[in-house]
Amino acid sequence: MKILKVIGALLIFSIIFPASAFAQLNKVPNLKLYDFDRLHFGFTLVANQMDFVLKPKDNLYQTYFDSLPPDNDLAGAFASKVYGIRANPSTGFAVGIVGDLRLGDYFNLRFIPTLSFGRRELVYDLLLYDEQGTFKSERFVTKKINSTFVEFPFLLKYKSMRVHNMRAYVTGGIKFSFDLASEAHKDEKSNYDPKLYRTDTYGVIGAGLDFYMNWFKFGVELTMSYGTRDLLLREDNLYTDGIESLRSKIFMLTFTFE
């Protein structure tokens, strides 16, 4: 996948770029007392890939929808079958503020409120029929779902021993999110795009590297977040009734400056 190649390239660049800071091991380490401070603050820049974990209903292709929404994508059709549904991810970005509390030599508690932007797509393979039940055509319909998340992650960070100007670490925890772009709270159905509930809770796991520069600590981290809630609002139409569950999945490449 192209996004994975981009993330891989960025990760390699992020490791090579600060390598000059510890290439000469005979130099005095940077920020020698940094890890003894009780509190640290900083900010993050994030490239993300938003996706869905989609579970179609059993025997989806056998379900016959004879009451179609007045959607331009279905113009001229009287009934339809959903032959298949798939989710397409897309890239986005996020910014956040870092609050880091030292718990010990190897553990930190981190709170990183973040504003994330992104979009996902659901692609429907539809078989369209006329009023006599005669097959007319096959049509692919793409529904775009935009999201603007306000996120509140609480993470436990476990660090390795510092080697000159570098540490490796793993992190994990939970994240609460609120989707400002959700239309699920609206009473009126302004369109027939699938709508998501606003709130979700994620499990988060990741790993990264910290580099101690002359004046700040630079980090690069790859994180995966998996939503626990079925987000799809059912509206009694073929765009929602063929889906058993729809959960959020987000990959993030994060650059931290502390």
Per-residue pLDDT tens over the stretch 42-97: 999 999 999 999 999 888 777 777 777 777 777 777 778 888 899 999 999 999 99
Integer CA distances (angstroms), 256 to 24, 46, 104, 177, 187, in order: 24, 9, 21, 20, 40
Q: Is residue 236 part of a domain?
A: yes
For residue range 179-224, list pLDDT tens digits in order.
998 876 655 555 678 889 999 999 999 999 999 999 999 999 999 9
CATH of the domain at 8: 2.40.160.20
| Residue 100 falls inside a structural domain | yes
Closest CA to 10 of 151, 244, 220, 257: 220
Model confidence at 175, in pLDDT bands (50, 70, 90)? very high
- Across the chain, mean pLDDT equals 85
pTM beyond cutoff 0.95: no
64 within some domain? no
Residue 252 lies in a domain: yes
62: which 2 tokens? 């056998």
101 by DSSP, 3-state: which? Answer: strand
For 183, the domain range is 2-54+93-120+146-257
Whether 8 maps to a domain, the answer reads yes
Q: Which pLDDT value is given to residue 15?
A: 52
DSSP 5: H
* Distance (Å, whole) CA 31 – CA 156: 22
- CA-nearest of 123, 129, 142 to 81 is 129
Q: Does 133 map to a domain?
A: no
The dihedral region occupied by 171, where left means phi > 0, alpha psi between -120 and 50, and beta the remainder, is beta
pLDDT recorded at residue 185: 61
Residue 22, pLDDT above cutoff 50: no
When divided into structural domains, the chain yields a total of 1
